[in-house]
Amino acid sequence: MAGILFIISAPSGSGKSTLVAQLRTLVAGLDFSISYTTRAPRGSEENGREYHFTTREEFERMIAAGDFLEWAEVFGNYYGTAVSALEHARVAGKDLLLDIDVQGAVQVMRKLPEAVSIFILPPSPQVLEMRLRNRSEAEQVTSETVIKSRLAEAKNELKQIWDYKYALVNDVLDQAVAEMRAIVLTERGVWDGVQGVAAGCRTDAASPRLRAALGTFER
């Protein structure tokens, strides 16, 4: 079965990109939508690989033309998913992964309620701050203002977690990858002994692990 749209969201620094990359090596038939953004490339990022980097003027022209399935302004930069990504995946007979923020995810879920939404969260704000600082050091761009802003935004984004069908805690990488794989296979209707794992990640189940992680952000 092809044509499933998977929406994946997470606070900045939650390790979402690493999880998605590993998932794609384990599960065939997944197309990945490369978002458009007006922010500058970081580190070794290349245009057309991590993002389609563009100007604010061109991005706003695309908004006016209705070229985006969703778009949002985050930390002063535009991010968006082109409508054409859905058609490309359909023609290729693949499911589509959308790596998008909460603002964009809400837009897509309203337009396409059949989409499968997955929220990834870090185990605690302390771990998230550590990851943000490590990333800033690797990119040689350290800004206390940016880090504090992203920590505050993470708390706001977590308030939307119950709008998602699934949620998983990215504390142990291999376990988080296994949970994402289980979700994809379950939604495809593939019996691979993973349905119980996927069921444990449903937000309506609200596992103790999920509630414990959320609780650390409420202190």
The model's pLDDT over 34-48, given as tens digits with 9 standing for 90+, comes to 999 999 998 888 999
Asked whether residue 67 is domain-assigned, the answer is no
With cut-offs at 50, 70 and 90, classify the pLDDT of residue 172. Answer: very high
Strands (E) in 29-149, as ranges, are: 30-32, 36-37, 52-53, 68-74, 77-82, 95-99, 116-121
d(CA 210, CA 190): 25
Asked whether residue 75 is domain-assigned, the answer is no
pLDDT at 15: 85
Tokens of 195: 């349905």
- Residue 12's nearest CA partner among 102, 144, 118, 73 is 102
Q: What is the pLDDT of residues 39-94, one digit of tens each?
A: 999 888 899 988 999 999 999 999 999 999 999 888 889 999 999 999 999 999 99
Asked whether residue 79 is domain-assigned, the answer is no
pLDDT at 1: 44
Asked whether residue 154 is domain-assigned, the answer is yes
Tokens of 20: 């998605």
Asked whether residue 48 is domain-assigned, the answer is no
pTM: 0.88
d(CA 40, CA 55): 9
Inter-residue contact 84 to 92 (CB < 8 Å)? no
Query: What is the residue range of 19's domain?
Result: 5-33+95-216
With cut-offs at 50, 70 and 90, classify the pLDDT of residue 139. Answer: low
d(CA 71, CA 67): 10
How many structural domains does the chain have? 1
For residue 170, pLDDT beyond 50: yes
CATH code of 152's domain: 3.40.50.300
Tokens of 6: 């998977």
Asked whether residue 57 is domain-assigned, the answer is no
Residue 139's region, left for phi above 0, alpha for psi from -120 to 50, else beta, is alpha
> Across the beta sheet with 68-74, what order do the strands follow?
52-53, 36-37, 77-82, 68-74
pLDDT at 148: 86
Asked whether residue 127 is domain-assigned, the answer is yes
pLDDT at 2: 58
Integer-rounded Cα radius of gyration of the chain: 17
Q: What is the pLDDT of residues 6-32, one digit of tens each?
A: 999 999 888 888 899 999 999 999 999
Asked whether residue 62 is domain-assigned, the answer is no
d(CA 81, CA 35): 5
d(CA 136, CA 150): 12
